[in-house]
Amino acid sequence: MDFGFTPEQDELRSQARRFLDQQLPLDRILAWTSDPASIDRGLWKRMADLGWTGLTAPERHGGLGLGAVDLIVLLEEMGRSLCPLPLASVDIAVAALTALGNEAQQSAWLPKIAAGDVIATLAVFESSDVPTADGIATTAIARGNDVVIDGAKLFVPDGQHADLLLVAVREGQGTSLFAVPVETPGVTVTPLVVVDATKPAAEVRLGGAMLPASARLGSAGTAWPVLARLLDRQIITHVAEMVGSADAALQMAVAYARVRQQFGSPIGRFQGVKHRCAEMLCDVESARSLVYYAAWAIDQAPAEAASYAAMAKAAASEALDQAGEECIQIHGAIGYTWECHAHLFYKRGRQSHIWLGAPDEHYERVMALQGL
């Protein structure tokens, strides 16, 4: 893999940090968490104007055609600012349409997604705790030239803000993926109560939702191998945001330790505080290295992507957990107040810890993938 960033990636990082610092300061994030019913579509359109919403979409469909590492550079900055906008969800939808959609389907949706006119998300998980095709109970049954979908999806990321749902269903003896506009009769989207309001999720119910067979992405019953790779990509994109959040919590703690006086000296001069910050830094850098290798593997070494996605998720979960907790501890009493931003990172860590698998699950997965 490459051990450094290209000038273009460095510029993308700088551009993203400037934009997000200006448009989404933590005071605005804090205010938004009190009323997270909707997102700022105007801000989303400005991100589209920067090319972010179509970063990995093919150029022929209005995207920039960039790779996974470029995306991770951007998502790390999104995580640093706790940005509540659905860029990671949209990327997975773009990847699904690119991998499974035919030219007509790609032409119908990708330009709209890249332009910021359509928000799309992937709906796979259900009430089952089985993270494979066996856990999908939602069905698609042919009725003439149409297909009727029945079932329910849980924890659909950004589902309440989506215009298009890519729904995984059981069809025959296999798994299929359908592009389902949210206005389809029979589709009901209900926001879920979550710990971290900056990472919204929804329940999606499909009660006899009828779609033309042309809404199927790919051939009937053949989608699972692609979906499995997409779920690894989803883990990697989420971990990128986690790493950004953990680093921001670390920097916030260090900044406070430099100015908070105790016994006539900044608390950052005390060995116990130094140790805490040093341990956070080691954990954040380890998780960052893993997620960038995993992102590189998506494009350059696909056989390694699953293992490194699992390693990165386990490491990032622990790093963000520690960073969020230590940030509050280093702030002392003020760290427990609503006005202090430390609790935002703690909540991101708590929710992200279990979303897409807790560390123990990923350690077991790594061992299984390595044949241990």
Domain with 213 in it: what CATH number? 2.40.110.10
The per-residue pLDDT for 1 is: 65
Q: At which of 98, 118, 138 does a domain end?
A: 118
Is pLDDT at 307 greater than 90 in this prediction? yes
Predicted pLDDT at 128: 80
pLDDT for 269: 79
Please, is 286 exposed, middle or buried when counting C-beta atoms within 10 Å of its C-beta (0-12, 13-18, 19+)?
middle
Tokens of 278: 């040093």
Do the domain assignments include residue 280?
Answer: yes
DSSP string, 188-243: EEEEPP-S-TTS-EEEEEEEEEEEEGGGEESSTTB-HHHHHHHHHHHHHHHHHHHH
**117, 317 contact by CB (below 8 A):** no
Question: What confidence tier does 243 reach under pLDDT thresholds 50, 70, 90?
Answer: very high
User: Longest Cα pair distance anywhere in the chain, in angstroms?
Assistant: 80
pTM comes to 0.95
Please give the DSSP secondary-structure letter assigned to residue 372: -
Residue 230's pLDDT band (cuts 50, 70, 90): very high
Residue 267: per-residue pLDDT: 80
One domain for residues 113 and 126: no
Could you tell me the residue range of the domain that residue 73 belongs to?
7-118
pLDDT higher than threshold 80 for residue 369: yes
pLDDT in tens, 75-111: 999 999 999 999 999 999 999 999 999 999 999 999 9
Question: Which pLDDT does position 268 carry in this prediction?
Answer: 77
Q: What's the burial of 39, exposed, middle or buried (CB within 10 Å: 0-12/13-18/19+)?
A: middle
In a domain, 2, yes or no: no
Q: Determine the average pLDDT of the residues in 307-317.
A: 97
Q: Is residue 282 packed enough to be buried (19+ CB in 10 Å), middle (13-18) or exposed (0-12)? A: exposed
> Is position 1 within any domain?
no
